[in-house]
Amino acid sequence: MTSQTIKSGGDTLLILQTIFIVAPSFILYGYNLSGLGGLVNLSTWASTFSEIDTVFTTGATKTHDTTIQGVVVACFTLGAIVGSFSCTFFGDTFGRKKLMFSGALFTLIGTILQASSFELAQLIVGRVILGTGVGQLSATVPVWQSECSKPGSRGKHVIMDGVFMAVGYFLESWINLGFYFTSGTTQWRAPIAISTFFSLAILVSVFSFPESPRWLARMNRIDDARSALSRYKGEDEQSDAVAAELSAIEAACEDIQSQKASLGEMLTMGNEKLAYRFGLCMLLQFFQQMCGSNLVSVYSTIIYQENLGLSSITARTLSGGMLTFKLLSCSVAFWSIDRLGRRACFMISGAGMGSCMVALAVTTSFKDNYGASIAAAFFLYLFCFFTPIGFLGANFLYCTEVAPLRLRSSMSSISTANHWIWNFVVNMVTPIAIRTIGWKYYLVYACIGATIPIVVFLYFPETKGRTLEELDIMFKQIPSIREIVKVSQQRQIIYDDYAMPSGKSAVEMKEDVQETEKV
């Protein structure tokens, strides 16, 4: 990769975008989110950071150190909250590429600080800085992808975020296991340091790609937007396809030129139903964390070792196998997201995860029961089958689809910050909850998982196969929430009793609506 702009276009450019930006960004997410979960019970770790020693301590001291350990692990998510929320203020000012560069730089610095730590304070600082970078990447990359992708394949393109997140989990589990057989602090320093390669990949390549055509148009850089759009579509700059989509983007930008983007607007309904759209984003990111996906991915080793009473080697092997199975299960989401649609994926995923959590609560309630432990391990694996279908990438995709252009960066970053807030809660509470209330802890996630299909069925509109501008008009023109949900599932979109075939550009739809209103 060079600093010059990549000359490829169309599908090839999107593939290169996936390889050099999307893949390392979300591998960093999965790898570092779950990274310490499999290291904190190493004896070499406990010797280095005696303040969070849960290996050589017992009783009240172990309980205290467990709580502090949860805080240290969760510091990553505190940084991620700050990083993702910062995109609210800088996302539209500096553009998508500069924020991604900033995020990658933070992850590089944070990783180096962690890997070279001899004191707990340095580890915490490194963890916060690393989280800040991952937060910026998780809030910005999906927006960039969504704004550059074609409507028919947008789901598959953005769902790759979840696939590479799973790759991060997979790599972390097996790399941790591999270095478990080494000696000294190499057991944990090397696994942490390896993620620097992914940070460097982003830093070297990010400025080789075209900027988001929608951001360029909003900045009134129309020629640059046309060039970027033609590259991402694989069409000539003067082609009808590029002209039609650029006109739709310009029309959307014209509507917001006189409206200053305000964070307070997201709490009001108004003509654009912003509170409703913002609520969908916030609720979806809450579901993503509180369905148990983060619990299983980060603390699988502890669940197997302390909850099921398995040996350290067996626990790590089962954890690695489970996260490998989770990665393979991502193929289901890749197939279903643009075929079944977003709603079906969310409902199937939520119902499946909720059922697995009920089964996990029942099986872990039996103490020293070999058969129950086998059943619990089975349901943990089954949980990892259902998670990717709707909540390992599709949640980021959906938030970028329902948000309007002028608030897309803000809605995405704030809802992603909400995602990290609940991530922090899970990381903070899980270690002590598993050691105190045990099986009852899983019932919390079971109840939340059970509500997902109901809420999605009633309030979440379908977004597959439609341009971002078309979705924006749908929210503006259809008066009631229930009608939006109903109409979104049809092949036609209705604006004030006017049937509009899906697939027209936003400009054509807007002109047709205005003409009908005149008549």
Q: What is the DSSP string of 441-492?
A: HHHHHHHHHHHHHHHHHHH----TT--HHHHHHHHHH--SHHHHHHHHTSSE
> pTM of the prediction?
0.75
Residue 210, Ramachandran bin (φ over 0: left; ψ between -120 and 50: alpha; else beta): beta
β-sheet bridge partners, residue 496: none
| Consecutive H or E run containing 512 | helix 506-518
Q: What is the pLDDT of residue 515?
A: 46
Q: What is the pLDDT of residue 504?
A: 46
Q: What is the pLDDT of residue 198?
A: 95
In sequence order, the 6+-apart residues with CB closer than 8 A to the CB of 178 are: none
C-alpha span between 132 and 305 (Å, rounded) = 31
C-alpha span between 298 and 303 (Å, rounded) = 10
Phi, psi of 219 (to 5 degrees): -85, 5
Q: What is the pLDDT of residue 99?
A: 92
DSSP 367: S
Q: Which residues of the chain have pLDDT under 50?
A: 1-4, 494-507, 509-510, 512-519
Q: What is the pLDDT of residue 254?
A: 67
Q: What is the pLDDT of residue 111?
A: 95
Domains of the chain and any CATH numbers: 10-209+267-459 (1.20.1250.20), 219-253 (no CATH), 468-518 (no CATH)
Long-range contacts of 344-347 (CB under 8 A, 24+ apart): 345/389, 345/390, 345/394, 346/284, 346/287, 346/390, 346/391, 346/394, 346/452, 346/453, 346/456, 346/460, 347/390, 347/452, 347/453, 347/456, 347/457
Q: Which of 147, 369, 385, 387 lies closest to 291 in space, CA to CA?
A: 387
DSSP 72-136: HHHHHHHHHHHHHHHHHHHHHHH-HHHHHHHHHHHHHHHHHHHHT-SSHHHHHHHHHHHHHHHHH
Q: Which amino acid is at 457?
A: F
Q: What is the pLDDT of residue 490?
A: 75
Q: Which of 62, 64, 44 lies closest to 54 in space, CA to CA?
A: 62
